[in-house]
Amino acid sequence: MYDVIIVGSGVMGMSIARELSQNNLNVAVIDRDVAGKHASYKAGGMLGAQNEFTSYSPLYRLAREAQTRFEGLSESLKQEVGVDIEYKQTGLIKLAAQDSDNDFVEKQYHFLHQYNPSVELLSSQNLSLATHGEVDTRGLSAALIPDDHQINANKYTKALLKSLNKRDIHRWYQTEALNIESISNGYQVVTNRGCLTTEKVIVAGGAWSADLIEEPSLKRQVTGVKGEVLLVENKSLKLDTTIFMTNGCYIVPKSKHRYLIGATSLNNDYSVGVSEAGKQWLFHQACAKVPGLQDSKMIKHWSGIRPYTLNEQPIMDEIQSGLFIITGHYRNGILLSPLIGELMSEWLVNDSRPEVLENFIYKRGELNEVCD
Ligand SMILES: Cc1cc2nc3c(=O)[nH]c(=O)nc-3n(C[C@H](O)[C@H](O)[C@H](O)COP(=O)(O)OP(=O)(O)OC[C@H]3O[C@@H](n4cnc5c(N)ncnc54)[C@H](O)[C@@H]3O)c2cc1C
C-alpha cells in the first residue's frame, strides 16, 4: 500500500512527488501516457508572475512567490540530474497589440508598478533600445517587467522526471486511472493494469482532472484550452527579451538563436497538432511587431492542452478526506509548480491546509476580489 498515489505526471504531479519524497513517504505517480505528451512539455516556459495579472489577488501573491524559486531550483536540478533547465533572466515586455489596447497596458503597468517599482512604462525610444530596434512600435504602449524571466519547459519537465527516477518514486506509465474508490483505510485506484491501494490520492491530471472525481460541479468548472506553438530559428535577430502582446501572441527568445512563438487559445479543443490557420495567425502576429522574424527558418510546431477553470483560478482542494485535486493552473502551471509542490507536501505531511491555499477550494464564492 502506498502512502500517496499521484494521478498525472505533468509538472504539478511530479513537483508534488519530488517534495513528498523528501519526507520518506512511499509515493507512486501514474500516467496513462508516456512522458513528453502533455502541456508541461509543450509550454512557453515564461515565468510570467506579473505579466498575467491586473489585480492583487491570492493567485498573484502565489505567482510572485513561485517566481523566487527558479534560480535555486535550476541549480538544484543541475546538480541532482545534470539537466540545465535554461533559466534566463531576460525579463518580459508587455506590448499593446493595437491602439485600443494602450489603456489596458497602462492600467496594468500602474497596478504592477505599485508592488514592484522596477516595472517601467517604455517610451517608443526606450522600447526600441530594449529590443535592439527589433520591435516595430507605431505608438503602441509597452511596459517592461524586468523580472518575469523564463526557462525551457521541456527540459524542466524532463529534469523532474529524472529526479523522480533517482528518488525511487514508483512510476506507472501507460497506466490509466479509471476510477478512485474509497476503502476502509484509504483508496483503491482502479487502473487498466490492475488496482493500486493507497492512503491518499492526489489527482493532478491537468485538463482531464475532473473526469476522475464524481462531483458534477468540478466537471462544469474544469476544461481544456488548446494552445499551438511554433519554434523558429533566426540567426540575425537581436531580440533577447520576451515580447508578450495583449492579443495573447508572444515571442520568447530561446537558446541557439531560436524563438518560440505562441500561442493560440482554443476552448474545449482536445485535439493534437497545429492547424494551418494557427500557424498563420501566430507567424503573422509575431512578424507584425518584430518584422525581422520574417526571414526565420521553421524548426517545429506543437500543441498542448492547458487546464482551465471557468474563472481562471486553480482548484487545489481536498474533495473528501485523503482525496485531493490539483488543477486549473492554465497559463501559469510551469511557474507555479515548484511552490505548489512545496505547499502540497506541507499539507499532506502536517495534515493541515496551508493558509495560502485557502482561496482555491472547488466550491467557489467570488475569488477575484482585491485583497489588502
Ligand atoms: C502552448 C502552451 C504554452 C504554455 N506556456 C506556459 C508558460 O509560458 N508558463 C507557464 O507557467 N505555463 C504555461 N503553460 C501552462 C502549463 O503548461 C500548464 O499549466 C501545466 O503544464 C499544467 O501541468 P499539469 O501537471 O497540471 O498538467 P499536464 O502537463 O497536462 O499533465 C497531466 C497529466 O495527467 C495525465 N492524466 C490525465 N488523466 C489521467 C488518468 N485518468 N490516468 C492517468 N493519467 C492521467 C495526462 O496523461 C498528463 O500527462 C502553457 C501551456 C501550453 C499548452
State residue 44's pLDDT score.
97
Model pLDDT for residues 174-207, shown as the tens digit of each residue: 999 999 999 999 999 999 999 999 999 999 999 9
- Residue 301, domain extent: 88-150+223-309
45: pLDDT strictly greater than 80: yes
Q: Is a pLDDT exceeding 90 seen at residue 164?
A: yes
- 149: pLDDT strictly greater than 80: yes
Provide the 3-class DSSP secondary structure of residue 48: coil
- Cα 273 from Cα 25, distance rounded (Å): 38
Residue 372 pLDDT greater than 70, yes or no: no
Ligand 1 center–CA 361 separation, angstroms: 20
Q: Do you know the residue count of the chain?
A: 372
- Summarize the confidence of residues 251-271 as an average pLDDT: 97
Ligand 1 atom index nearest CA of 33: 47
Distance separating alpha carbons of residues 204 and 351, to the nearest angstrom: 19
Q: How far is the CA of 293 from the centre of ligand 1 (A)?
A: 28
CATH number, domain containing residue 157: 3.50.50.60
In our burial notation (b when 16+ CB lie closer than 10 A, e otherwise), range 256-283 reads eebbbbbbbbbeebeeeebbeebbebbb
- CATH code: domain of residue 283: 3.30.9.10
Nearest 5°: phi and psi at 30?
-120, 145
When pLDDT is cut at 50, 70 and 90, the band that residue 41 belongs to is very high
Pocket mutation for ligand 1, best pick of 31, 175, 190 (most atoms within 8 Å of C-beta):
31
Q: Say yes or no: 227 and 146 in one domain.
A: yes
Mean pLDDT value of segment 234-259:
97
299 and 227 in a common domain: yes
Q: Is residue 316 part of a domain?
A: yes
pLDDT at 369 over 60: no
d(CA 355, ligand 1 centre) in Å: 25
Ligand 1: lining residues by beta carbon, under 6 Å: 7-13, 30-33, 38-40, 42-46, 176-177, 204-206, 208, 212, 227, 229, 262-263, 304, 306-307, 327, 329-335
- Residue closest via CA to ligand 1's atom 33 equals 8
Check whether residue 62 and residue 165 sit in a common domain.
yes
**Alpha carbons 22 and 294: distance in angstroms, whole number:** 48
253: Cα separation from own chain's centroid = 18
303 and 317 together in one domain: no
Q: What is the pLDDT of residue 36?
A: 82
User: Quick check: 348 and 322 in contact, CB under 8 A?
Assistant: no
370, part of any domain:
no
Domain shared by 137 and 206, yes or no? no
Model confidence band, residue 371 (pLDDT cutoffs 50, 70, 90): very low
Q: Are 209 and 203 in contact (CB under 8 A)?
A: yes
Average pLDDT score over the chain: 95
**Do both 103 and 242 map to the same domain?**
yes
Q: What's residue 365's pLDDT?
A: 56
Same domain (yes/no): 184, 250: no
* Residue range 291-333, pLDDT digits in tens: 999 999 999 999 999 999 988 999 999 999 999 999 999 999 9
Ligand 1 centroid, distance to 259 Cα (angstroms): 21
* Residues 65 and 133 occupy one common structural domain: no
CA distance 32 to 80: 27
Query: Looking at per-residue confidence, does 364 or 17 come out higher?
Result: 17
Cell 476503502 belongs to: 183
pLDDT greater than 90 at residue 110:
yes
Say if residue 214's pLDDT is above 90.
no
Q: What is the pLDDT of residues 59-90, one digit of tens each?
A: 999 999 999 999 999 999 999 999 999 999 99
Ranges of H-type helices in the chain: 11-21, 39-42, 58-67, 70-81, 102-115, 124-130, 153-166, 216-221, 276-289, 333-350
Residue 47 has pLDDT above 80, yes or no: yes
Task: Say whether pLDDT at 366 is over 50.
Answer: no
CA-nearest residue for atom 37, ligand 1, is: 205
